[in-house]
Amino acid sequence: DKLLVVPQDGSHWLSMKEIVEHLSERGHDIVVLVPEVNLLLGESKYYRRKSFPVPYNLEELRTRYRSFGNNHFAASSPLMAPLREYRNNMIVIDMCFFSCQSLLKDSATLSFLRENQFDALFTDPAMPCGVILAEYLKLPSIYLFRGFPCSLEHIGQSPSPVSYVPRFYTKFSDHMTFPQRLANFIANILENYLYHCLYSKYEILASDLLKRDVSLPALHQNSLWLLRYDFVFEYPRPVMPNMIFIGGTNCKKKGNLSQEFEAYVNASGEHGIVVFSLGSMVSEIPEKKAMEIAEALGRIPQTLLWRYTGTRPSNLAKNTILVKWLPQNDLLGHPKARAFITHSGSHGIYEGICNGVPMVMMPLFGDQMDNAKRMETRGAGVTLNVLEMTADDLENALKTVINNKSYKENIMRLSSLHKDRPIEPLDLAVFWVEYVMRHKGAPHLRPAAHDLTWYQYHSLDVIGFLLAIVLTVVFIVYKSCAYGCRKCFGGKGRVKKSHKSKTH
Amino acid sequence: GKLLVIPIDGSHWLSMLGVIQQLQQKGHEVVVIAPEASIHIKEGSFYTMRKYPVPFQNENVTAAFVELGRSVFDQDPFLLRVVKTYNKVKRDSSMLLSGCSHLLHNAEFMASLEQSHFDALLTDPFLPCGSIVAQYLSLPAVYFLNALPCSLDLEATQCPAPLSYVPKSLSSNTDRMNFLQRVKNMIIALTENFLCRVVYSPYGSLATEILQKEVTVKDLLSPASIWLMRNDFVKDYPRPIMPNMVFIGGINCLQKKALSQEFEAYVNASGEHGIVVFSLGSMVSEIPEKKAMEIAEALGRIPQTVLWRYTGTRPSNLAKNTILVKWLPQNDLLGHPKARAFITHSGSHGIYEGICNGVPMVMMPLFGDQMDNAKRMETRGAGVTLNVLEMTADDLENALKTVINNKSYKENIMRLSSLHKDRPIEPLDLAVFWVEYVMRHKGAPHLRPAAHDLTWYQYHSLDVIGFLLAIVLTVVFIVYKSCAYGCRKCFGGKGRVKKSHKSKTH
């Protein structure tokens, strides 16, 4: 069958790529639609690429990503932090929009897509270009998503009581105090506003292309959502039947370590190793911060494998090895892995859970703060504020997660729950993509909620109607009683009254 | 591991059997406990049966079932029917409650259960006796159910179900409701709790006595680790679900055996027209003579061979093409390529067997969820519903001819069938997996939503809304007052003067 893939550049692509490769191995013909300028959407034997022009060059793309990554280390006041985070995200998000705009206006690419009879479309809905394309090409679609931003997967679908479903950026757990619930309630309102900021221009774009009014939630509902969720990590909440949970797909395969890394691990002795990576977005850390980190790392007996592409800190200790890239999952899977210093992106978190390695987390942006909070409340890691932490903080955090047995026990418990599943998440993902191709969608999983207006959905019209009836009945009963009373005792009463008034 | 099973007598038990058998084959020790007076629950080779004494006999249970089957054919006015049903439910449930009470007060029996050190408990929560035992023995519980009356399952799992598109059971609504249907849905939601109290609240008091702490029925049901629900969204309408619900609809469809010689012969003799399978389930043993004759007449008018599972008196006008049998291998017959239609009371088992084998249905719902099941299949164009009380021979004949000759019925049921059977893992394996999961991990606390720890007003954020409203009102009040004060200061003198002036001119 023919599958069109509309990916999202950056780390999101990594988990999608794995599913795409698996599908290709099963004999499906796959076309990946890529902007001609991109970071990770490379050539592959597993799929054909179809590129489309974009209004920026590689230089600009790299610059934008670099400044996005580096900005996380710029100090700012707590009040300005949300605004900074928003502006910083927009550096990358704006570019996605430009790319989408140029794609949807490129008639050559659009006609190529129309002529190729695809069976389904597989996309990441965070930036809804693929969502719009699926509607334009009238293709059944499958989304791969992690749940950021704006709880996109739940808007207009699953009920999300603000009383126990924490909103993004709040860093709350599912057990909230009154002030937290208050903040969550307000965050929910702000989330709607953020949704508007991020997506209303896409809706305009889509309306232009489809020549009708388009609301994104309405498009979302026709799709099947592969969510990188696992309730070992997420808090339990209402979900919908068109959601398939495949958290931990990227954890499964364990390769052998290359000679280089094997040698490092073996040389670490009884103390073992600590794996340290802040993800692909961060290429450089300000020198002062990097030196502080290097100092802390030098104070522990473990061997440190640090993925870092910036300048080598001058005070780097002997136990710390800088590498440009490291086989993160394979290293974490090694029995000598003692701790994992991570930016707590969802991929890293799942790899940590899967391999049962306690974490020291330095969340940088997006969902990472919330991810870190989740692992912290489950006693599987310690969170540090990368801007404020000192060398001592990092040293203590590392010693705590390595020496305090409870961290290891907790992460092992999570790991055993996470890995105990009836079917591997990758197989599940592949199954459902094929399912949508076979059956041309999954309309029987589409809830009828989408055909209702908001006041119908909340039964406000019904409640109003019933209330009106009750009030009418009460009113009539009251009036007739009053009338009855007047008939029976009325004369007397009125006489008395008039009598009384006369005595004045 | 060691598993304790507390089933409920009747058809519910039959679908649980497959799971128990599989668990035993995987090396688990299964102990089933049931009242001494049980009809369907019998000794089995793959589990240990332990019966406990109850203050009623086998005959009482049989009589209750027979009466239930018979009562559906009573031609009573609506209100009388409601009263009769209410009384019957009250009578039967108090009988079953007394059985539960005898179990829980049977100190010797309960002590022996305690000493067995089970790893988990599998139970059908339709009657929450197993739930009390689970709490008494502090065992993690797995529930195996279709749905609970009065949305108790939704309440106990804290699963939201917007009344605007989730039809209430017994409402005959679909997921697409017009305004009046939504009003009906709302009214049922407001009143259902009241009706259910008759059956369920005694369990709350019983549990309060046994566990020596104040418990409601919801408290009894909500600690369950996993809810194995015999639903599939091919049949049921999509709605919000919770992470600890596992959907295993169609679990009873898998096991297919070759037909016995007797039935093989019937099927082969049917020729090109094929067969129609007819069963109103195990609850109905007899149909009033007049009704039975009407049915027999209709069956005689179609060219198919009809296999009718019927234990009552043979209708005198039975045609040659109709074969009465005391029992039939329903799933195996439906799975035969010659099966053309399925006349069913639309119990959930039958419906899933119809879907699984892709046989269009003529449905005669009798009680409980059967009306809703029939409605679901009808809206999906996979069957025709008849009112068993009102239908004539012509109606039945037409319905049969429609589902057999109108190709759309076959197409629709085949589409449902292909969707239903296309799944990453067989429902039986899924059920077995989750029972084992709970045994391995002593429950699944990470799937328990935090909603359970909130009061109802916290859950709906009423306190937060009230607080915010209070703030807004206070601010508005203060702003208004200060404005008013400011205005008075600035223009006050003038205003007052004017006013006093005015009043003086009067």
Q: What is the pLDDT of residues A246-295, one digit of tens each?
A: 998 877 666 788 889 999 999 998 999 999 999 877 878 888 899 999 99
Q: What is the pLDDT of residue A222?
A: 84
Residue B25, helix vs strand vs coil: helix
How does the average pLDDT of chain A come out, rounded? 89
Radius of gyration of chain A from its Cα atoms, rounded to whole angstroms: 29
Question: Given a cut of 90, is residue B220 above it in pLDDT?
Answer: yes
pLDDT band at A154 (very low <50, low <70, confident <90, very high): confident
Residue window 243-302, chain B: list those with CB within 8 Å of chain A. Answer: 243-244, 247
Q: Find, among B12, B198, B48, B223, the residue nearest to B132 by Cα.
A: B223
pLDDT confidence of residue B68: 78
Closest chain A residue to B456, measured at CA: A163
Least confident range from A244-253, B347-356, B466-475: namely A244-253
The residue of A188, A235, A237 whose CB has the most chain B CBs within 10 angstroms, and thus the best one to mutate to test that interface, is A237
Give the Cα separation of B173 and B167 in Å (integer). 5
pLDDT single digits (tens) B285-335? 788 889 999 999 999 999 999 999 998 889 999 999 999 999 899 999 999
pLDDT grade, residue A497 (50/70/90)? very low
Say which range, A157-171, B120-134, B469-483, B490-504, has the weakest mean pLDDT. Answer: B490-504
Q: Does A335 touch chain B (CB under 8 A)?
A: no
Closest CA to A438 of A22, A32, A1, A134: A1
Q: For residue B437, give the chain A residue with the closest CA.
A: A420
Rounded Cα distance, B140 and B4, in Å: 10
Q: A241: pLDDT confidence band, cut at 50, 70 and 90?
A: very high
Per residue in B139-193, pLDDT (tens digit) is: 999 999 988 888 899 999 999 999 999 999 888 889 999 999 999 999 999 888 8
Contacts of B185 in chain A (CB under 8 A): 462
pLDDT at B59 over 90: no
pLDDT band at B504 (very low <50, low <70, confident <90, very high): very low
Which pLDDT score, from 0 to 100, does residue B493 have? 56
CA closest to A413 among chain B residues: B441
What is the mean pLDDT of the segment spanning B458-480?
Answer: 94
Interval B361-370 mean pLDDT: 90
Task: With CB atoms and an 8 Å threshold, state whether A182 touches B468.
Answer: yes
d(CA B69, CA B286): 8
Chain A CA closest to residue B185: A462
Instruction: Count the helices and strands in chain B (H runs, E runs).
Output: 18, 13
pLDDT confidence band for B66 (50 / 70 / 90): confident
Most B CBs within 10 Å, among A22, A155, A162, A163, to test the B interface: A163
pLDDT at A46: 94
- Among residues B187, B165, B183, which one has the least CA distance to residue B174? B165
**pLDDT tops 60 at residue B497:** no
Cβ distance B330 to B277 under 8 Å? Answer: yes
In the predicted model, is pLDDT for residue A504 greater than 70? no
In this prediction, residue A196 carries a pLDDT of 87
Binned at pLDDT 50, 70 and 90, residue A169 comes out as: confident
**Is the pLDDT score of B116 beyond 70?**
yes
Question: What are the chain B neighbours of A242 within 8 Å (beta carbons)?
Answer: 238
Indicate yes or no: CB of A163 within 8 angstroms of CB of B460. Answer: yes
Residue A361, both tokens: 């987390």
How close is the nearest chain B Cα to the Cα of A151, in Å? 16
On whether any CB of chain B is under 8 Å from the CB of A439, the answer is yes
Per the structure block, which two tokens stand in for A374? 């989740």
Least confident of A29-33, A213-217, B397-401: A213-217
- The answer to whether A454 faces chain B, any CB pair under 8 Å, is no
Taking the model in full, what pTM does it have? 0.91
Residue B500 has pLDDT above 50, yes or no: no
Q: What is the pLDDT of residues A221-230, one digit of tens each?
A: 889 999 998 9
Cβ of A459 and B465 within 8 Å?
no
Kind of pairing, strands B361-363 and B339-344?
parallel
Position A219 scores a pLDDT of: 87
Residue A192 contacts B where some CB pair is shorter than 8 Å: no
A445 neighbourhood in chain B, CB within 8 Å: 233, 238
Mean pLDDT of A10-25: 90
- Which residue out of B155, B163, B165, B462 would a mutagenesis test of the A interface target, given it has the greatest number of A Cβ atoms within 10 Å? B165
Q: Confidence band (pLDDT; 50, 70, 90) for A451?
A: confident
Check the CA dihedral B208-B214-B218-B224 and report its sign. Answer: negative
Instruction: Enumerate residues 207 to 236 of chain A having a beta carbon within 8 A of any beta carbon in chain B.
Output: 231-232, 235-236
CB contact under 8 Å between A462 and B163, yes or no, is yes
Chain B segment 152-211 residues within 8 A of A by beta carbon are 159-160, 162-165, 175-176, 179, 182-183, 185-187
A123 DSSP β-pair partners: A6, A143
Facing residue for B240 by CB, picked from A158, A162, A232: A158
Question: Is B442 an interface residue toward A (CB < 8 Å)?
Answer: no
Give the nearest chain A residue to B246 (CA atoms): A241
Are B449 and A164 a contacting pair at CB < 8 A?
A: yes
Could you tell me how many CB contacts below 8 A there are between chain A and chain B? 155
Give pLDDT tens digits for B419-446: 999 999 999 999 999 999 999 999 999 9
| B233 reaches A (C-beta below 8 A) | yes
Whether residues A162 and B422 touch (CB distance < 8 A) is answered with no
pLDDT computed for residue B27 by the predictor: 94
**Cβ B434–A174 below 8 Å, yes or no?**
no
Nearest to B453 among A175, A185, A444 (CB): A175
> Is pLDDT larger for residue A251 or for residue B499?
A251
Q: Please tell me which of the candidates B160, B238, B449 has its beta carbon nearest to residue A446.
A: B238
Task: Return the closest-CA partner of residue B120 out of B254, B25, B5, B12.
Answer: B5
State how far residue A252 is from chain B, nearest Cα, in angstroms.
18
Host H or E run for residue B344: strand B339-344
Q: Cα separation of B423 and A435, whole Å?
A: 8
Q: How far is Cα A84 from Cα A409, in angstroms, rounded to an integer? A: 38
CB-based contact (8 Å) between A466 and chain B?
A: yes
Asked if A6 contacts A416 with a C-beta cutoff of 8 angstroms, the reply is no
CB contacts under 8 A, B 456-485 vs A, are 458-461, 463-465, 467-468
Chain A interface test: which of B178, B186, B464 (most A C-beta within 10 Å): B464
- Closest CB to B239: pick one of A174, A420, A447: A447
For residue B441, list chain A residues with Cβ-Cβ distance below 8 A: 416-417, 420
Which residues of chain A does B241 touch, with a Cβ-Cβ cutoff of 8 Å? 238-241
Residue with tokens 């709302």: B186
Tell me what pLDDT residue B159 has. Answer: 95
Q: Mean of the pLDDT values across residues B129-145? A: 96
- Report the C-alpha gap between B251 and B19 in whole angstroms: 9
Contacts of residue B170, defined as CB under 8 A and 6 or more positions apart, other chains included, come to B188, B369, B371, B372
Tell which of B157, B233, B429 to mutate to test the A interface (max A CBs under 10 Å). B233
Chain B positions in Cβ-Cβ contact with residue A236 (cut-off 8 Å): 242-244, 446-450
A241/B450 Cβ within 8 A: no
Q: Which of A55-59, A136-140, A486-490, B284-288 has the highest mean pLDDT?
A: A136-140
The verdict on a CB contact (< 8 Å) between B233 and A241 is yes
Segments in A325-459 forming alpha helices (H): 328-332, 346-355, 368-377, 391-403, 405-419, 425-439, 454-457
Q: Do A159 and B434 touch (CB under 8 A)?
A: no
In this predicted model, what pLDDT tens digit does every residue of B224-252 receive, in sequence order? 999 999 999 999 999 999 999 999 998 87
pLDDT tops 80 at residue B492: no
Contact A236 B176 (CB under 8 A): no
Q: List the single residue in B with minimal CA-CA distance to A450.
A: B165
Task: Nearest by CB to A422, from B163, B419, B425: name it.
Answer: B425
